[in-house]
Amino acid sequence: MPVTRRLVAAAVAAGLAVPALAGCGSEPRSASRGIYALGDATAEDHGGHGGRTGPKPTAAAVHSGKLAGRFTDYAYQRISASSMVLFSAGAPDAAKSWTLAKDGLELADSRLAEVVCGTAADRTELLGALRTSSAALLDWARATGPGKGPAADAERQRLEDASGPVAEAAVRCTPGVAQARLATSFAGIDRALTGYLTEVKARKPAARQAIRVPGAKAYDLARAIAPGAVRARGLGGDLNAPQQAAYAELNQLMVEHFWLTNNYVVLMVSRKGNATDPAVAAGAGMLDDNSRDLMNRLGQDPDTRRRLLTAWRIHVDLFIACTRAGMRGDKAGQKSGRERLDRFRHTQAELLADALPGTSAPAISSGLAHHVTSALSTADAFRGGNPKTLPMLFASSEHMAHLTDALVRSSAFAKPDPA
């Protein structure tokens, strides 16, 4: 059966409308495990795609990909934390928002220092500078909440100044990158995110595009420091080789997919599931922008990109439907929806394996399972006010590397992109 017909047939068999999907849901099959037990794929599940795959990414490529992911975490957590403080200013839950924001930034900062610096002493120095910068960011958000004024301007300048010590600490861990460039890059991430939040506060339509700018700047910085950070650790592998360079790019897009999905869940919960709310609609648009970029990177021709994008959108719609069922308290709907999502990932893995020669559908399906199970667990934890939501967020982000690893084995990434 042709790929497109198989995609539609699988979606219909799963009880879906294409392209817009109906209801969803599912309880954890094994609640005691604390994660949704969607079955792992096997070679038998996926016909002829269980054979040999392309070369395993080198240690250098994996670390470069981890840098891309952690810098993306850093950028999006800074957006999330400052948003919480800015929009809760003067509200009864302002103190709780401040604590959650501070905890989230501390986690993001420590995870970033871990991958940038190879020694404990260097990590400690960088972490101290990052936390000073994070404190300045929260102070800016709190001062900006009630409106612009001298206090907000002063805090913004303090935030700008904090990039200097961050760069001074980071340069010891990233030989080959000028301290001035590091300072400019870290400051650029914060300028982009404060600009985004200012546009959101003013309800400007451009905010949809602006949310991805801090992450893009963070990714550029990750790529700039990767060669030095890799050399400092003595890791092997040529980061300029096409297949290895693709690892960081794919992982950044995958991690961004997770954060934009989480952003959409937060918006839905805060707007009580109103999909027509402008903020929720904008969140859906941001997520779809990422889906387009991701599938454009994976698809080798326009027809393949369209097929992959259709499948990825079904994947996203199923997840969103599951989340909405959970918000309604529809446990039966949650259960059936998660089962549909689990069934559909087998077809999605086949489509990706067809598009990417040298990849394994079982490995791709397993990577999708890691992503889906952890993302669903995190969404439910957030809705239920689980105090472990923050560490679960970062663990879910890290799980995207399983999918990246399965996809980057393709021979399609073994040659340079056409000019």
The one-letter amino acid code at 213 reads V
275 shares its domain with 148: no
81 shares its domain with 39: no
In degrees, to the nearest 5, what angle opens at C-alpha 286 toward C-alphas 85 and 282? 70
* pLDDT at position 114: 95
pLDDT in tens, 190-212: 999 999 888 888 777 767 778 89
72 shares its domain with 181: yes
Of 14-23, 108-117, 283-292, the one with minimum mean pLDDT is 14-23
Query: What is the chain's length?
Result: 419
Residue 152: which of 161, 163, 160, 144 has the closest Cα?
A: 144
50 shares its domain with 71: no
Domain boundary among 233, 264, 280: 233
| pLDDT over threshold 70, residue 38 | no
Alpha helices in 145-233 (DSSP H): 150-161, 163-170, 179-201, 207-210, 213-233
Contacting residues for 406 by C-beta, under 8 A, at least 6 apart? 53, 359, 360, 363, 364, 366, 367
46 shares its domain with 93: no
DSSP helix/strand/coil, 329: coil
Residue 240: pLDDT band (50, 70, 90) is confident
DSSP helix/strand/coil, 240: coil
258 shares its domain with 165: no
The two three-digit tokens of residue 388, written as one number: 């472990």
Structural domain including 144 reads: 66-233
| Secondary element (H or E) of residue 378 | helix 361-383
* pLDDT at position 20: 37
Residue 390: which of 109, 124, 197 has the closest Cα?
A: 109
Distance CA 75, CA 410 (A): 29
Q: Does residue 22 sit within a domain? A: yes
Q: Give, rounded to a whole angstrom, the gap between the first and last alpha carbons of the chain.
A: 34
Domain boundary among 206, 233, 260: 233
Say what percent of the chain tops pLDDT 90. 47
207 shares its domain with 322: no
189 touches 218 (CB < 8 A): yes
281 shares its domain with 402: yes
* pLDDT at position 112: 96
Contacting residues for 57 by C-beta, under 8 A, at least 6 apart? 65, 237, 243, 244, 247, 405, 408, 409
Q: Does residue 418 sit within a domain? A: no
Q: Does residue 61 sit within a domain? A: no
Residue 167: which of 190, 185, 189 has the closest Cα?
A: 185
Q: Does residue 190 sit within a domain? A: yes
147 shares its domain with 174: yes
Residue 173: which of 107, 237, 129, 217 has the closest Cα?
A: 129
Our count of domains for the chain comes to 2
Q: Does residue 243 sit within a domain? A: no
| pLDDT over threshold 90, residue 273 | no
Looking at per-residue pLDDT, the higher value among 380 and 39 belongs to 380
Q: Does residue 238 sit within a domain? A: no
141 shares its domain with 83: yes
pLDDT in tens, 208-238: 778 899 999 999 999 999 998 988 888 877 7
34 shares its domain with 178: no
Q: Does residue 172 sit within a domain? A: yes
Whole-prediction pTM:
0.85
Looking at per-residue pLDDT, the higher value among 340 and 271 belongs to 340
Strand partners, 334: 25
50 shares its domain with 70: no
Residue 144: which of 185, 202, 183 has the closest Cα?
A: 202
Domain boundary among 233, 259, 278: 233
Q: Does residue 123 sit within a domain? A: yes
Residue in the structure block whose two tokens are 């069922």: 325
Distance CA 177, CA 182 (A): 7
